């Protein structure tokens, strides 16, 4: 049976663990050749090794999403290895410090904006031109439920994720005529190693209660939505924000 992404070339940032890793695995399972990017060499290399063990075509390219030159090199590596670029998932992100606006560390603000917002812009800046010779493509930007609402003591993260949604919509308008679709996905709170490392069991229980489904999401649940957006099954979908949030935004 033909896979939905047979012969497509995909790039995923922050793919060494968590949501990004699940997305990379799922895109590969549907036949895509995947460029795995992460700032963590070991995590990225191990992810690719596992993908190859499963018979998938994949390479690892180290990239810091806050650096434009790294994005340029990442796209160039995809083109060199696999002949082009059809799908880009801008997933890499950080949480940043926790503090009210009037006390927020200036260096923390700069870092969160650099990674979570500038990094998405830099990615699209080089990804989209590489898609145009292919007759189009699909860009999926990983935003957050916090791209729609506020959250105490997380002003930089909230501002960046709101920015990602706006950036997504603008790019969709600009490149729709050239058949490049650009969409954003807004995960709720997802059970990842990073979340479980940084939050107490009591805090996790509290977060679970903020979702209508009464639980945190799983990375695979986000990967399923992202993969659909990458395929032709979503051919009339662009400029959209899709929440995968267990009902977080319903309240």
Question: What CA–CA distance (Å, rounded) separates 119 from 171?
Answer: 15
Question: What CA–CA distance (Å, rounded) separates 43 from 36?
Answer: 10
Map residue 12 onto helix, strand or coil: strand
Assess contact for 9 and 85: CB atoms under 8 A. Answer: yes
Question: What CA–CA distance (Å, rounded) separates 146 from 47?
Answer: 28
Residue among 144, 49, 192, 93 nearest 36 (CA): 49
Assess contact for 97 and 113: CB atoms under 8 A. Answer: no
Q: What angle do CA 226, 5, 29 make, to 5 degrees?
A: 75
Q: How many angstroms separate the first and last alpha carbons of the chain?
A: 42
* Residues belonging to the active site: 157
């Amino acid at each position: 049976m033909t896979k939905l992404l047979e012969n497509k070339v995909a790039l995923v940032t922050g793919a060494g663990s968590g949501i990004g890793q699940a997305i990379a695995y799922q895109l590969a399972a549907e036949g895509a050749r995947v460029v795995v990017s992460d700032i963590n060499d070991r995590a990225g290399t191990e992810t690719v090794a596992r993908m190859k063990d499963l018979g998938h075509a994949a390479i690892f390219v180290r990239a810091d999403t806050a650096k434009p030159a790294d994005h340029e090199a990442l796209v160039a590596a995809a083109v060199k290895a696999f002949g082009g670029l059809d799908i880009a998932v801008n997933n890499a992100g950080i949480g940043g410090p926790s503090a009210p606006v009037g006390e927020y560390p200036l260096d923390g603000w700069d870092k969160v904006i650099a990674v979570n917002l500038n990094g998405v812009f830099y990615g699209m800046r080089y990804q989209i031109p590489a898609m145009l010779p292919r007759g189009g493509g699909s860009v999926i930007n990983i935003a957050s439920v916090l791209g729609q609402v506020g959250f105490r003591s997380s002003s930089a993260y909230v501002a960046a994720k709101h920015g990602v949604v706006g950036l997504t919509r603008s790019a969709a308008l600009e490149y729709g005529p050239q058949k490049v679709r650009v969409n954003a996905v807004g995960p709720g709170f997802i059970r990842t190693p990073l979340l479980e490392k940084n939050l107490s069991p009591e805090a996790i229980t509290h977060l679970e209660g903020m979702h209508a489904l009464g639980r945190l999401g799983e990375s695979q649940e986000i990967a399923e939505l992202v993969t659909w957006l990458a395929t032709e099954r979503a051919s009339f979908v662009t400029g959209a924000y899709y929440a995968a949030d267990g009902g977080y935004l319903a309240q």
